Structure 1
Amino acid sequence: MQAMERLADRVSQGLALIGAVGLMALLVHVAAEVLARNLFSRPIPATNQIVSHYYMVLIAFLPLAWVERQGAMISVELTEGFMSPRMKRVSDFTVAVLAVLIYAALAWVTWADAVKAWRVGSFVDVLGHRLAIWPTYFLPPLGFALAALVMVMRGISALRGDDA
């Protein structure tokens, strides 16, 4: 189990790093576009489409597993102070199972959308040129699936009584 946890840490950290690089690229791209538009009256074509179809999807979905691994998702622990250690484990396990089901369902649905977008070759038109956007449709199912795997590990840890 420790080897799996180390692997999950490395994968989730790698995806979070990719998300961070995507955020930095977004900031540089938008800043360059603003400068080019205001200083030279020559905006960078397709900035809006690249930001909304590439950067934002990358930033939002790839780090999900890392956020779950860090335990940084929003949670409400209203009743946890009143629970025994055993009840906390049951609660943690129940939350993990529900999260796995939700993440897996989201991964399944978004995978179907990604395959459909790939098959039809989804694109946006930018000044008469096609900008392929179908590759970004595969980022949400990847993020959701990896978050589901992290939650499976959290559920196992809850069953074993490990501190997660």
Structure 2
Amino acid sequence: MSDTTEFSADPDPALLRLIDRIALGLALIAAVALILLALNVFADVIGRAFLKKPLPGTLEMTAQWWMPTLTLLAFAYTEKRQDHIKVTILLDTLPLRMRQWIEGVFGLIATALLVGLAWHALAEAQDSFGYMETTSSLPPVAIWPFKYVAVLGVAALALQSAATSYRYFTRRLPAATVPEGEAV
């Protein structure tokens, strides 16, 4: 069998489809955060230029609200699409089935590490909630709610990483593929 026909065309189990939908939903929330970031900065610039009064807390909101939200919530969708940067020099020399197995094992290791990171982020978020953490700026900007965004984003990435590993092990995802038009 050739390398191009060695992966399954069967539909994914319902749990994997649910994980994929969660990743897509979080990516859409990340897109909304990007729009809100742009509007926040736009309002600040207009306030500075025309009203001589900037929007208070813009820097803090950008750094503590919008950037973490748009990056962390998009990670799972990026994993689903296999758009993270990978260095596959060693994997490219292996047969497809072995590459899939190795990618699956490393995906499980990544999943375990991400679960640990999500657990730590949850502890941090709960501590932050306990004292209603804000920035030291005037006016203070609440940052404790966005600590939970980190938990959600990392947990979703862990789920998607586990789903990707499953796909590698069951030959539903080819290893080390190069999208058309990219250099090898």
| TM-score scaled by length of structure 2 | 0.82
1:142 corresponds to? 152
Distance 1:149 1:10 in 2: 12
More helix by share: 1
Greater RCO, 1 or 2 (C-alpha within 8 Å, sep 6+): 2
CA contact (8 A) 1:100 1:148 kept: yes
2:117 corresponds to? 106
Query: Which deviates further from its counterpart, 88-97 or 107-116?
Result: 88-97
Q: Give the alignment's Cα RMSD to 1 decimal.
A: 1.5
| Alpha-carbon offset, residue 6 of structure 1 | 2.1
Q: Which runs of no fewer than 5 residues in structure 1 stay unpaired? A: none
Report percent identity of matched pairs. 28
The partner residue of 1:15 within 4, 20, 26 is 26
Secondary structure of 1:5's counterpart equals helix
Distance 2:14 2:171 in 1: 18
CA contact (8 A) 1:103 1:147 kept: yes
The partner residue of 2:99 within 88, 97, 101 is 88
| Alpha-carbon offset, residue 84 of structure 1 | 1.2
2:135 corresponds to? 124
Which consecutive aligned stretches of 4+ in structure 1 deviate over 4 angstroms post-superposition? none
| Alpha-carbon offset, residue 85 of structure 1 | 2.3
The partner residue of 2:73 within 62, 73, 78 is 62
Distance 2:173 2:82 in 1: 12
| TM-score scaled by length of structure 1 | 0.92
Distance 1:71 1:163 in 2: 10
| Alpha-carbon offset, residue 138 of structure 1 | 0.7
Distance 1:45 1:85 in 2: 55
1:152 corresponds to? 162
Q: Which runs of no fewer than 5 residues in structure 2 stay unpaired? A: 1-11, 175-184
CA contact (8 A) 1:45 1:126 kept: no
Secondary structure of 1:132's counterpart equals coil
